[in-house]
Protein backbone atom coordinates (compact mmCIF):
# COMPACT_ATOMS: atom_id res chain seq x y z
CA UNK A 1 0.00 0.00 0.00
CA UNK A 2 2.85 2.33 0.75
CA UNK A 3 4.32 1.67 -2.68
CA UNK A 4 1.11 2.60 -4.46
CA UNK A 5 0.65 5.83 -2.51
CA UNK A 6 4.13 7.05 -3.38
CA UNK A 7 4.42 9.19 -6.46
CA UNK A 8 6.53 7.61 -9.14
CA UNK A 9 9.69 9.45 -9.85
CA UNK A 10 10.13 10.28 -13.52
CA UNK A 11 13.03 8.56 -15.23
CA UNK A 12 16.27 10.50 -15.12
CA UNK A 13 16.72 12.56 -18.25
CA UNK A 14 19.49 11.61 -20.59
CA UNK A 15 22.45 13.90 -20.88
CA UNK A 16 22.22 16.25 -23.87
CA UNK A 17 25.18 14.55 -25.51
CA UNK A 18 23.50 11.13 -25.38
CA UNK A 19 20.20 12.50 -26.65
CA UNK A 20 21.75 14.59 -29.40
CA UNK A 21 24.00 11.77 -30.55
CA UNK A 22 20.98 10.06 -32.06
CA UNK A 23 20.09 13.28 -33.92
CA UNK A 24 23.52 13.85 -35.47
CA UNK A 25 24.19 13.15 -39.11
CA UNK A 26 27.20 11.02 -40.00
CA UNK A 27 29.20 14.09 -41.07
CA UNK A 28 28.37 15.92 -37.83
CA UNK A 29 29.31 12.85 -35.77
CA UNK A 30 32.68 12.55 -37.55
CA UNK A 31 33.36 16.24 -37.01
CA UNK A 32 32.65 15.95 -33.29
CA UNK A 33 34.79 12.81 -33.03
CA UNK A 34 37.69 14.71 -34.59
CA UNK A 35 37.57 17.15 -31.68
CA UNK A 36 38.47 14.60 -28.99
CA UNK A 37 41.22 12.11 -28.23
CA UNK A 38 43.73 10.87 -30.76
CA UNK A 39 42.42 12.76 -33.83
CA UNK A 40 42.67 16.03 -31.91
CA UNK A 41 46.19 15.29 -30.69
CA UNK A 42 47.41 14.36 -34.18
CA UNK A 43 45.83 17.29 -36.04
CA UNK A 44 48.06 19.88 -37.68
CA UNK A 45 47.47 23.62 -37.43
CA UNK A 46 45.91 23.67 -40.89
CA UNK A 47 43.56 20.78 -40.08
CA UNK A 48 42.55 22.49 -36.84
CA UNK A 49 41.77 25.81 -38.51
CA UNK A 50 39.66 24.09 -41.18
CA UNK A 51 37.80 22.02 -38.57
CA UNK A 52 37.25 25.08 -36.37
CA UNK A 53 35.63 26.87 -39.30
CA UNK A 54 33.29 23.96 -39.99
CA UNK A 55 32.37 23.57 -36.30
CA UNK A 56 31.69 27.32 -35.95
CA UNK A 57 29.40 27.23 -38.96
CA UNK A 58 27.43 24.28 -37.57
CA UNK A 59 27.22 25.83 -34.08
CA UNK A 60 25.89 29.08 -35.55
CA UNK A 61 23.43 27.20 -37.77
CA UNK A 62 21.96 25.24 -34.88
CA UNK A 63 21.79 28.33 -32.63
CA UNK A 64 19.93 30.16 -35.37
CA UNK A 65 17.50 27.26 -35.83
CA UNK A 66 16.82 27.15 -32.10
CA UNK A 67 16.15 30.89 -32.04
CA UNK A 68 13.78 30.52 -35.00
CA UNK A 69 11.90 27.70 -33.28
CA UNK A 70 11.72 29.70 -30.06
CA UNK A 71 10.27 32.71 -31.87
CA UNK A 72 7.76 30.49 -33.68
CA UNK A 73 6.69 28.89 -30.41
CA UNK A 74 6.21 32.31 -28.81
CA UNK A 75 3.96 33.34 -31.69
CA UNK A 76 1.76 30.32 -31.01
CA UNK A 77 0.79 31.40 -27.52
CA UNK A 78 -2.62 29.74 -27.69
CA UNK A 79 -1.23 26.23 -28.07
CA UNK A 80 1.58 26.61 -25.55
CA UNK A 81 3.80 24.35 -27.63
CA UNK A 82 7.11 23.65 -25.87
CA UNK A 83 10.24 24.42 -27.83
CA UNK A 84 12.10 21.43 -29.22
CA UNK A 85 15.53 21.46 -27.61
CA UNK A 86 17.21 19.32 -30.28
CA UNK A 87 18.69 22.37 -32.01
CA UNK A 88 19.95 23.80 -28.72
CA UNK A 89 21.52 20.46 -27.74
CA UNK A 90 23.35 20.31 -31.06
CA UNK A 91 24.51 23.91 -30.69
CA UNK A 92 25.89 23.09 -27.23
CA UNK A 93 27.73 20.04 -28.60
CA UNK A 94 29.38 22.09 -31.32
CA UNK A 95 30.22 24.90 -28.87
CA UNK A 96 32.00 22.38 -26.62
CA UNK A 97 33.87 20.94 -29.61
CA UNK A 98 34.86 24.45 -30.63
CA UNK A 99 36.31 25.13 -27.18
CA UNK A 100 38.39 21.93 -27.35
CA UNK A 101 39.65 22.69 -30.85
CA UNK A 102 40.56 26.28 -30.01
CA UNK A 103 42.42 25.14 -26.89
CA UNK A 104 44.43 22.66 -28.96
CA UNK A 105 45.11 25.32 -31.59
CA UNK A 106 46.45 27.63 -28.88
CA UNK A 107 48.71 24.83 -27.61
CA UNK A 108 50.14 24.20 -31.08
CA UNK A 109 50.58 27.89 -31.83
CA UNK A 110 52.48 28.38 -28.55
CA UNK A 111 54.81 25.42 -29.21
CA UNK A 112 57.22 26.24 -32.07
CA UNK A 113 58.74 22.75 -31.98
CA UNK A 114 55.36 21.16 -32.75
CA UNK A 115 54.07 20.13 -36.18
CA UNK A 116 54.64 22.50 -39.08
CA UNK A 117 51.98 25.14 -39.63
CA UNK A 118 50.73 23.78 -42.94
CA UNK A 119 51.60 20.17 -42.24
CA UNK A 120 53.93 20.15 -45.26
CA UNK A 121 57.46 18.83 -45.67
CA UNK A 122 60.23 21.42 -45.70
CA UNK A 123 60.93 22.91 -49.15
CA UNK A 124 63.38 21.03 -51.36
CA UNK A 125 66.68 22.67 -52.14
CA UNK A 126 67.40 23.05 -55.82
CA UNK A 127 70.57 21.62 -57.25
CA UNK A 128 73.04 24.25 -58.52
CA UNK A 129 72.17 23.30 -62.10
CA UNK A 130 68.40 23.64 -61.48
CA UNK A 131 68.94 26.92 -59.62
CA UNK A 132 70.89 28.30 -62.58
CA UNK A 133 68.10 27.24 -64.94
CA UNK A 134 65.50 28.88 -62.70
CA UNK A 135 67.46 32.13 -62.67
CA UNK A 136 67.78 32.08 -66.44
CA UNK A 137 64.02 31.78 -66.95
CA UNK A 138 63.16 34.73 -64.73
Residue range 2-48, pLDDT digits in tens: 444 444 444 334 444 566 677 888 899 888 888 888 888 888 889 99
Closest CA to 20 of 89, 121, 94, 83: 89
Overall pTM surpassing 0.85 (yes/no) = no
Is 49 within the bounds of a domain?
yes
* Domain count of the fold of the chain: 1
Is 32 within the bounds of a domain?
yes
Contact criterion met (CB below 8 Å) for 56 and 17: no
Phi first, then psi: give them for residue 11, nearest 5 degrees.
-65, 150
Half-sphere exposure of 113 (CA within 13 A, CB side): 0
Is 104 within the bounds of a domain?
yes
Per-residue pLDDT tens for 82-108?
667 788 888 889 999 999 999 999 988
Is 124 within the bounds of a domain?
no
Is 62 within the bounds of a domain?
yes
Domain extent for 104: 14-110
Report the chain's C-alpha Rg in angstroms.
Answer: 25
Is 66 within the bounds of a domain?
yes
Amino acid sequence: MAASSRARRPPSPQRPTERAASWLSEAERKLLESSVGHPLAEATLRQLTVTIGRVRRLRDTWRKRFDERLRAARRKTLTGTPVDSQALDKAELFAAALRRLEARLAELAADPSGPRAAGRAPPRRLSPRAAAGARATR
